[in-house]
Amino acid sequence: MVWKMTVVLGMLCVLSGGVVAEIQEAPVGESATSTAPHASYWSDAGYGVLATFSNIFYMPAKVVYAGVGLLTGSLGFVLTAGDGDIARSIWSPSLGGTYVITPGMLRGHEEILFSGPSYSND
């Protein structure tokens, strides 16, 4: 069942990546259908499939990390009698960051941040 969903998601990424690439590569004043096919379609498709498979493992790990951080920060808030700085120092790294890996991230155009920014109390 899981592999069927993975194949469907991969196909959707491939199809949507090709359409977006075709629209983006069309010169000004011309329709996207008048341009010649580019070799980058296969590359776009490959990055789309790779991003889909990467997210199968990355997204659950990130959600678990964020959930544990949310609980830990809340516990820290309660145990310190409402000290928001302690809670924020736990919540910011765990709840921030990237939740979905995109093909642009795999190409190196965007940064993948598993944890968000940390704020010090200085």
Please report, in tens digits, the pLDDT of each residue of the chain (122 residues total). Answer: 655 555 555 555 544 554 444 444 445 554 444 444 555 777 788 888 999 999 999 999 999 999 999 999 999 999 998 888 989 999 999 999 999 999 999 999 899 999 888 766 54
Residue 24's pLDDT is 45
Q: What is the pLDDT of residue 12?
A: 52
- pLDDT at residue number 7: 52
Report pLDDT for 79. 94
- For residue 116, the model assigns a pLDDT of 85
Whether 86 is in a domain gets the answer yes
In a domain, 68, yes or no: yes
Count of domains for the chain: 1
47-82 residue pLDDT tens: 889 999 999 999 999 999 999 999 999 999 999 988
Q: What is the CA radius of gyration of the chain?
A: 20
Q: Confirm whether 67 is domain-assigned.
A: yes
Contacts of the segment 70-77: beta carbons below 8 A, 24+ positions apart? 70/94, 70/95
Q: Which residues contact 21 (CB under 8 A, 6 or more apart)?
A: 38, 40, 41, 44
12 domain-assigned:
yes
**C-alpha span between 90 and 73 (Å, rounded):** 5
**Residue 73 maps to a domain:** yes
Q: How many helices (H) and strands (E) does the chain have?
A: 4, 0
Note down the domain range covering 88. Answer: 2-107
The span from the CA of 79 to the CA of 9, in Å, is 43
- pLDDT at residue 21, rounded to an integer: 42
